[in-house]
Amino acid sequence: MDNLFKLNIKDYISENEKNFDIELTYELFGQPLGQAPIVLVNHALTGNSSVTGKNGWWNSLIGQNKLIDTNDFTVLAFNFPGNGYDGFFIKNYKDLILRDIANIFLIGLEKLKIKKLFAIIGGSIGGGLVWEIAALSPELSENYIPIASDWKSSDWLLANTRLQKQILNNSSQPVHDARMHAMLCYRSPLSFQKKFDRSKDSHIFNVESWLLHHGKKLQERFQLKSYKLMNHLLSKIDITRGGKLKFENIISKVKGNIYIVSVDSDLFFTDFQNRETFYKACVIKDNMFFKTIKSDHGHDAFLIEFDQLRELLSEIFTRKHTSILSN
């Protein structure tokens, strides 16, 4: 984490009118700030700011001569405050919603003197954060790219985050067991069938071994307090502020292109849900685009189907952008 930088945000007042002192950490990749168009990358629930490089979780898409080419772009990634990657935790996390994280990121951009972004991209809760930033700062970016996500926490998502909360609060192995349940949402039944086909190793089905492995792996690297925070935020996606604002009014103010990227087998943020959002938005906004990842793997396809993502998004990142600088 030699590349990890920190911004101190004192006396942040949350949407629930609570006071926070926030340590916002970030990493930069590619070209220096102010010398190239900037791409802001939002990580997913158990991810972090290391989007490329030695331990980069999106190495297949970000780097030299890749989809988001670090020869041409400055890539910026913030950590969700409290995700624990930087050692910073938030005790009273229930006083935050995802809109607060969007506000904090915007304060971070202001501190870095960044007034314009070429693109904001993120998957899952990171995609929900793309929607929240678009709603708060509709002229900030030329392109908003939410992947495997949506602008609201659906009933299905609320049900699953509630179950996750029960596991995290009551299990003797909370992170381990919550992760096992979550993997059932991140993949699809067909993905499991093709991968395991009821195969056994000794006296246990391989699908069971796989779930136990993922539970143990996350338990070793992720803090319980961070998991509780991120699960809470996942249940608090809503750009309409609980219906106080109209979705159509919010979208009509977004100047940049919006590229909704759906996964046809996603059980978490369903393809139907994404299409419904697209149809609703394109009635009032011309520069709406819909892309579909076709995969057996479910929600996690945005971390697996790299060839498709490169093809689907290449039109965005291969244009000439020399005039679009950070300030």
Considering only CA atoms, which of 104, 106, 108, 111 is closest in space to residue 138?
A: 106
Residue 327's pLDDT is what?
39
- CATH 3.30.70.100 fits domain 156-233: no
Given the DSSP bridges, would you call strands 204-205 and 200-201 parallel, antiparallel or unpaired?
A: antiparallel
Burial 33-59, CB ≥16 within 10 A → b, else e: eeebbbbbbbbbbbbbbbbbeeebbbe
Residue 324's pLDDT is what?
42
pTM of the model: 0.96
Please, what sign has the CA dihedral across residues 238, 244, 245, 247?
Answer: positive
Considering only CA atoms, which of 261, 279, 257 is closest in space to residue 269?
A: 261
Please state, in angstroms and rounded to a whole number, the distance separating the CA atoms of residues 145 and 316: 10
Q: How confident is the model at residue 322 (pLDDT cuts 50, 70, 90)?
A: very low
- Percentage of residues in the chain having pLDDT higher than 70: 97
pLDDT digits (tens, 9 = 90+) for 211-240: 999 999 999 999 999 999 999 999 999 999
Would you say the CATH fold of 156-233 matches that of 5-153+239-317? Answer: no
Domain borders along the chain are: 5-153+239-317, 156-233
pLDDT digits (tens, 9 = 90+) for 133-189: 999 999 999 999 999 999 999 999 999 999 999 999 999 999 999 999 999 999 999
Q: Give alpha helix (H) positions in 142-241.
A: 155-170, 174-186, 189-196, 206-221, 224-234
Q: Classify residue 286 as exposed, middle or buried by CB count within 10 Å of its CB (0-12, 13-18, 19+).
A: exposed
pLDDT digits (tens, 9 = 90+) for 255-314: 999 999 999 999 999 999 999 999 999 999 999 999 999 999 999 999 999 999 999 999
Please state, in angstroms and rounded to a whole number, the distance separating the CA atoms of residues 114 and 280: 31
Considering only residues 137 and 321, tell me which one the structure prediction assigns the higher pLDDT.
Answer: 137
Q: What is the rounded average pLDDT of the residues 44-66?
A: 96
H or E, element range at 1: none
Residue 94's pLDDT is what?
97
pLDDT digits (tens, 9 = 90+) for 87-128: 999 999 999 999 999 999 999 999 999 999 999 999 999 999
Q: How confident is the model at residue 202 (pLDDT cuts 50, 70, 90)?
A: confident
Q: Which CATH class is domain 5-153+239-317?
A: alpha beta
Q: State the chain's mean pLDDT as an integer.
A: 96
Considering only residues 195 and 321, tell me which one the structure prediction assigns the higher pLDDT.
Answer: 195
Q: Classify residue 198 as exposed, middle or buried by CB count within 10 Å of its CB (0-12, 13-18, 19+).
A: exposed
Please state, in angstroms and rounded to a whole number, the distance separating the CA atoms of residues 148 and 58: 15
- Percentage of residues in the chain having pLDDT higher than 90: 95
Given the DSSP bridges, would you call strands 62-63 and 68-69 parallel, antiparallel or unpaired?
A: parallel
Unique residue bearing structure tokens 């609570």: 18
Centre a 10 Å sphere on the Cβ of residue 239 and count the other Cβ atoms it contains: 21
Bridge partners, residue 141, by sequence: 117
Q: Tell me the one-letter amino acid at 18.
A: K
CB 12 within 8 Å of CB 19: yes
Please state, in angstroms and rounded to a whole number, the distance separating the CA atoms of residues 163 and 184: 12
Residue 3's pLDDT is what?
85
Residue 2's pLDDT is what?
65
Residue 319's pLDDT is what?
65
